[in-house]
Structure 1
Amino acid sequence: MKLYTVGYGGRTPEEFLRLLADGGIRAVVDVRLRPDRSSMATYVKAKDPHKGIEGWLSRAGVQYFSFIELGNLFLEFDHWQSRYRNLMERAGDLLTQRLRKVPPPFCLMCAEKSADRCHRAIIASYLAERGYEAEHLE
């Protein structure tokens, strides 16, 4: 099964939707720890599912899922990558369990534009070791 990852930072909503459409993506899995906070209002998860990112993606024909359990708890730490990788090694099956119900192809989404600097690359790597094919949308 194929999965994608994308970061919205520095992207216009139109550019973001174009990346999703080019990948044939039908579902976005938000892996931010605090999706209710975003410096770019379009990407905030509102209380009302018809507003914010959930409403915006729905109107574009893309399902939205927020899996805060995949958020980066270690972002404020030095060497957060090794800490997050360790978390995935220890509890990855539990943390990624809900992904099995997301219709493919889906895309892991976070704020960081570059996958190399984002925890979603660690999630994608973990899933690739378990049979997924991962591609980062840039």
Structure 2
Amino acid sequence: MVGKTSDPALSSAGRIFTVGTSNRTEQAFLALLRAYGIEQLVDVRRFPTSQRFPHFKKEALAAACRSAGLHYLWLGDLLGGYRKGGYEAYMQTPGFAQGLNRLERLAQEHPTAFCCSERLPWKCHRRFIARALESRGWQVVHILDEDRIWTPGQLQLAF
């Protein structure tokens, strides 16, 4: 068990979070980030737009984060999905390495989550980024909801 969502250890050094915007409201998404002590959101969507959920368009999400006191950065150009030849092949490129290094530097400065639109990380390219980070010694926590996190092989309650 990881601990309560208000546990300061959840944002300790060496830990990084992932989260999906999914069909959440702007308020629910920001509350979810606050519940896990996130101070910085790194958007890894290759195409940061949404017709169904306009509050998750890049500019709107950046503005919402600023209003909530969160840092926002888009790294979809380096870490976004939908790559020719597949994402695992893309992971072998200098662009991916550059993006991963940048994400690591950012996460060393502030409690950080990287996001995409898919709620479930095992259905999203975040799982590949997470695997690369884990191979470098990071503990990756996939946020599903305010009271549920996932790590490969198990579902954990945050209480």
TM-score normalized by structure 1? Answer: 0.83
- Pairwise mapping of residues 53-64 of structure 1 onto structure 2 (< 5 A)? 53-64=61-72
Task: Name whichever structure is richer in strand by fraction.
Answer: 2
Gapped regions of structure 2 (runs ≥ 5): 1-13, 145-159
Offset, 1:99: 1.5
Check if 1:116 corresponds to 2:115: no
> Conserved in 2, the CA contact under 8 Å of 1:2 and 1:133?
yes
For 1:104 and 1:85, how far apart are their aligned partners in 2?
28
For 1:124 and 1:18, how far apart are their aligned partners in 2?
23
Structure 1: 4+ residue segments shifted above 6 A: none
Among 10, 22, 35, which residue is 2:23 paired with? 10
Gapped regions of structure 1 (runs ≥ 5): 47-51
Check if 1:101 corresponds to 2:105: yes
SS at 1:72 equivalent: coil
For 1:54 and 1:4, how far apart are their aligned partners in 2?
18
Q: How many percent of aligned residue pairs carry the same amino acid? A: 31
CA, structure 1 residues 130+61, in 2 after alignment: closer, same or farther (shift >3 Å)? same
TM-score normalized by structure 2? Answer: 0.72
> Conserved in 2, the CA contact under 8 Å of 1:2 and 1:104?
no
Letter in 2 for 1:63: H
Partner of 1:65: 73
Among 122, 132, 136, which residue is 1:126 paired with? 132
